[in-house]
Amino acid sequence: MQISRVNRDRPERVFITAKNVEGATMTAGLPAAYVHGASNDGASVVIANAAGDYPGFLGVVVKDIPNNDYGQVQIAGFVASALISNVGSSLTITVGDPLVPAPGGFFSGAPTYANSGFRWLAVASNTPAALSAASYVSGLLKMV
């Protein structure tokens, strides 16, 4: 675990090193979740993109992690870049809205906190005008 303390340039952040067992590259900005079941070893992670993954939601992938390789996942603090799921609608996301894992990234429509392990990303900036295309936001990853 790596903890970045508050300083003049950056806010406090917490990272872990995790192994990608998704079967594909985990792209930066996607939500990550611990693997549930027989292979849960505390290091193996997948993209949180299905209902079974959401309770294990852990944080945001910092840089692309190739399959079966190790990389950083941010688990708390200010996140500079999180991918918003493309839902092709006119849903508005504003500063302060909670985002939870969803297929294709994070999503804000009626978030189910219990299904995401009571963890979420509170939007801070870079909010899109509409979700007709995937985009990125920054936010505060809450550790509850």
Residue 37 confidence (pLDDT): 67
Indicate whether 133 pLDDT > 60.
Answer: yes
Q: Which two tokens stand for residue 33?
A: 């979740």
Select the more confidently predicted residue: 111 or 21: 21
Q: What is the mean pLDDT of residues 114-135?
A: 67
Question: Which one-letter DSSP state was computed for residue 103?
Answer: T
Domain with 102, as residue range(s), is 2-141
| Residue 21 confidence class, pLDDT cut points 50, 70, 90 | very high
> b/e string for 93-114 if b means 16 or more Cβ within 10 A?
beeebbbbbbebbbbbeebeee
CA torsion 18-22-23-27 (nearest 10°) is -80
Tally the domains of the chain: 1
Beta-strand pair 98-102/70-84: unpaired
The pTM for the full model equals 0.83
Biggest CA-to-CA distance, the chain: 44
Can you tell me the distance from the alpha carbon of 17 to that of 83, in angstroms, rounded to the nearest whole number? 20
DSSP-derived 3-state class of residue 54: helix
pLDDT in tens, 68-87: 999 999 999 889 888 887 66
Q: Write the CATH number for 41.
A: 2.40.300
